[in-house]
Structure 1
Amino acid sequence: MKPTGGKVGTWIKLPALESVQIAAYAGFAFVVVDTEHAPLDVRTVYELVTVADALGVAPLVRVPDGRASGIQRLLDAGAAGVLVPHVDTVEQARDVVRAVRFPPDGRRGAGGTSRAGRWGLLGLDEYVADGAGALCVPQIESRAAVDAAGAIAALDGVDALFVGAADIGLDVGAAPSSPEVAELCGKVLAAAHEAGTPCGAATGTAAGAVGLLEQGFDFVVASNDTSMLAGAARTLVDTVRAGGVR
């Protein structure tokens, strides 16, 4: 069985423009700059987003939390959207939507002199219209979030859900690869699709990405720049040593 058309991206964790360029040249459809689990400051994220956008790769950002001030800065920096971790309830999801959307649908402030407004060259109406396309993606990472997934997916302003199998596993005390976690992730996927909302997930391998797409996930974040570099380095060293070189 072949995957059925989902998009494949990767995490960016290094403060290096080359990571984004390599991801673009490799053919990833999008990148997710990770500010939850990588020590990236706002200026670095701004540069990574700018390079991705220039290369035609959708630049998403995983924010460390749902604070509106942080989300606004990254959207005004030109991010195509945000992934927001640990959204466990419908009310938390509503708060995330409000942070991403302009009034009357949210509370995002006008920052038309930012990169997103072409430094003031866009009129206010055009700036707001462009901003309406920002993607709002809550992450489902606990049993409580799984139970609320259908209602979260059905909220106006939620563009997709993202399943965090590792954190679900931590929450329920099971390995991410366990049948229990797989069942919970499947429930999120089914609830999202029942609401007509795309659903994504992450994996560390190509085989894992194929498997997730075969399950029906609409987008997959496969591996990351640091792990791909580390894996290639370890493979090279192990291969050379296996040939008798020390």
Structure 2
Amino acid sequence: MTDKAMRTIAFVFARGGSKGVPRKNVRQLDGKPLIAHSIEVGLATPGVETVIVSTDDAEIAAVARAHGAEVPFLRPAELAQDSSPEWLAWRHAVSWFQKERGAFDCFVSLPATSPFRAVEDVTACIEKIRQDPATDAVITVTEASRSPYFNMVRLDGEQRAEIVIQSGTGIVRRQDVPPVYDITTVAYAVRPHFIQSAERLFDGRVSAVQVPVERAADIDTEYDFRLAEAIAAMRREARKETR
């Protein structure tokens, strides 16, 4: 699969029942609904055939269509609960597509909660899958600001703290710890057959693409949304200065 184009389909999974930020997927950020940022990057990514939104919500579906995505089905209610594993929503979407439109080679998930991703981030994930047939999935990561070897602790029943991972080497500076990374929601590229056969992402061989922290925002709380609004304002000002 390294010498031919892959049939690549992008998906955005967006439930209507968000509790951390109610109705966040259709809330305005930088002049457009949050979900539109993911749709637009998907549509702009070379090689992506279409962007499909999986949602249980009629308003999200209408907004998604207005911004160029397809919403050819509504996600079953049992796959749209707070406790529903997103892996099962992925599997449902893959099954629908394969039944209705045939086989494809690369499944890309672009979570609506990551509005600052770049096309190059998504392209890098797809390319990593294309180049390595042994890779089942590609995730995006950014360098972690804290380390379980140095400044992350766990508490016992009496609230006594200890470092999460004891190195045994007397690490006293953050610069000396092994590098660790945060998983981001910028993009996931996965082989469809792996989604159908595995029970979770890390059951397979997972590779990573590192993205800069300024493109790795993940909106899960009201504070996150306010921070994203501030970042969007800074980006607008930066664009003005370069004109």
Per the normalisation by structure 1, the TM-score is 0.28
Larger helix percent: 1
User: Of the two structures, which has the highest relative contact order with CA contacts closer than 8 Å and spacing of 6 or more?
Assistant: 2
